[in-house]
Amino acid sequence: PRRRELLDRLEFSDRDLRRPVRDYSRGMRQKIGIVQALQHDPELAILDEPSEGLDPLVQRAFYAILDDLRGAGRTVFFSSHVLSEVERLCDRVAIIRRGQLVALEEVESLLARRKRNVEMRLAGPPPILDGVPGVSGLTIADGLVTCQLEGDVGPFLQAIAGHSISDLTIEPAHLEEAFLEFYADELGLADWGRSTRQVAETSREEATAPSVVDR
């Protein structure tokens, strides 16, 4: 029954199952591998780039399967270059650089230390943000406030409360930025925080895969 459930969720038709595996596409073979790995409901599943070759709809189904495993108390250990996937699925992440383990911690705590870019359009006098915990890189020009925010957002929100603000954007922290921070020296970044977005857009192919633990 478990095998049949996985086959159905990964969109295998009866016709697909009658075909020789040698005739399968890369994505179909990847799905077969997932079924083989999970059909016996293991306590620990070890997967290498498990979503590679899957189309977006099947990826969503696969993520739902992993969510169910986590909810059932199973452990999934996998490696992935798709950092948005890691952020979406995992509780803990291990980052490997040049064969050495450089980080092993909760995804939430790793992201909490990331500086988030803030843009605020004013409709009145600017708030006083100098000295607010977590605020750095503050600039105010032509009614536009930009800064970086680290840690708890509460003190920042208290500082701007009561001021006339027409627009406020606080970019969420992403695992890709945290991951690339471990490569800042190789990427030649003197001011890492301000350069994060550009690096994330241009250096995806340079990053090596993190190993990920999901519980």
Domains defined for the chain, CATH in brackets? 2-108+209-214 (3.40.50.300), 115-170 (no CATH)
Tokens of 108: 């939430």
Alpha carbons 183 and 208: distance in angstroms, whole number: 10
Cα separation, 68 vs 124, whole angstroms:
49
Q: What is the pLDDT of residues 113-160, one digit of tens each?
A: 788 899 999 998 889 999 899 999 999 999 999 999 988 889 999 999
Q: pLDDT-derived band of residue 17, with 50, 70 and 90 as boundaries?
A: confident
CA 132 to chain centre: 28
Question: What pTM was estimated for this model as a whole?
Answer: 0.69
Predicted pLDDT of residue 97? 86
pLDDT tens-digit profile of 158-168?
Answer: 999 989 999 99
**Separation of alpha carbons 57 and 41, rounded Å:** 23
Residue 214: pLDDT band with limits 50, 70, 90: very low
Q: Which residue has the higher pLDDT, 164 or 183?
A: 164
